[in-house]
Amino acid sequence: MSLLEVRNLRARYGGIKAIMGIDIDVNEGDIVSLLGANGAGKSTLMAAITGVMQKGIEGSIRFEGRELVGLGAEKIVRLGVALSPEGRQLFGDLTVAENLKMGAYTRRDANGIRDDWERVMEIFPRVRERLSQPAATLSGGEQQMVAIGRALMSRPRLLLLDEPSLGLSPKFVQEIMRLVRRINQEGTTVLLVEQNVRQALQISTRAYVMEKGAIQLSGDAAAVARDPKVLSAYLGAD
């Protein structure tokens, strides 16, 4: 079942075309990777889906059959779509606990919030150990865990992850990918924007490759990983 449907989506910043008529489907229960170099349009797509980008958008973005184009970011979060943004964007002077609680700002169900808090603590035991620390004092990998945990506190049906491995050590990249797979296995559909193509394809069910605002390749993750262009451009094979 398709949870997210993007149809003929176009996006521009002034006179600059960032996305040029793309179609994307994310089925319920999948991890779908969106791959490509910087400037391909991946983060623009995430901003359009989440309502962060409102101007310069044409086409359709439907979540569970409901049109998202024109809705504000807060309404989209309430519908069940959450973003862990590129660069993490934590509030460094606030504690880890305060950052996490911000993820539940649209919710009023105290019992549900408590349950999700415990779930985040279980998934990220390092985060539990650092709840009283300012977020700025954490390592990059720990900050990424907090950013994902904050997104999970809204209890999303669809979790968008924008470059979760950016700037992390190889060990932490593997840990983050393992945790993304676990979150998915526990019932959350994931759309993953990632430059670490090898790691992303290992955990994904399907993938899209973007170049210059257009989809150049799509299919099952295993098939995309075998494509000669992907092997040459992203996986270091001749």
Domain with 8 in it: 2-233
Confidence band, pLDDT 50/70/90 cuts, at residue 39: confident
> What is residue 46's three-state secondary structure?
helix
* In-domain check, residue 238: no
- For residues 229 and 217, the answer to whether their CB atoms sit within 8 Å is yes
| pLDDT score of 238 | 45
Q: How distant, in Å, are the alpha carbons of 41, 167, 196 from that of 230? A: 18, 22, 12
Summarize the confidence of residues 204-229 as an average pLDDT.
94
For the cut 60, the answer to whether the pLDDT of residue 146 exceeds it is yes
* In-domain check, residue 206: yes
Characterize the bridge pairing of strands 66-67 and 57-63: antiparallel
Summarize the confidence of residues 8-12 as an average pLDDT.
96
For the cut 60, the answer to whether the pLDDT of residue 65 exceeds it is yes
- For residues 101 and 153, the answer to whether their CB atoms sit within 8 Å is yes
Task: Give all strands of the β-sheet with 66-67 in edge-to-edge order.
Answer: 16-27, 2-13, 57-63, 66-67
- For residues 164 and 192, the answer to whether their CB atoms sit within 8 Å is yes
CATH number at residue 94: 3.40.50.300
For the cut 90, the answer to whether the pLDDT of residue 62 exceeds it is yes
157-200, pLDDT tens digit by residue? 999 999 998 888 888 889 999 999 999 999 999 999 988 899 99
Identity at 46, one-letter amino acid code: M
For the chain, the domain total comes to 1
* In-domain check, residue 21: yes
What is the number of other CB atoms lying within 10 angstroms of the CB of residue 13?
Answer: 11
Summarize the confidence of residues 129-156 as an average pLDDT.
95
For the cut 70, the answer to whether the pLDDT of residue 113 exceeds it is yes
For the cut 60, the answer to whether the pLDDT of residue 129 exceeds it is yes
The mean pLDDT of the chain is 93
pTM of the predicted structure, to 2 decimals:
0.93
| pLDDT score of 168 | 86
Determine the distance from the C-alpha atom of residue 193 to the mean position of all C-alpha atoms in its chain, rounded to a whole number. 6
Summarize the confidence of residues 136-158 as an average pLDDT.
95
- For residues 202 and 31, the answer to whether their CB atoms sit within 8 Å is no
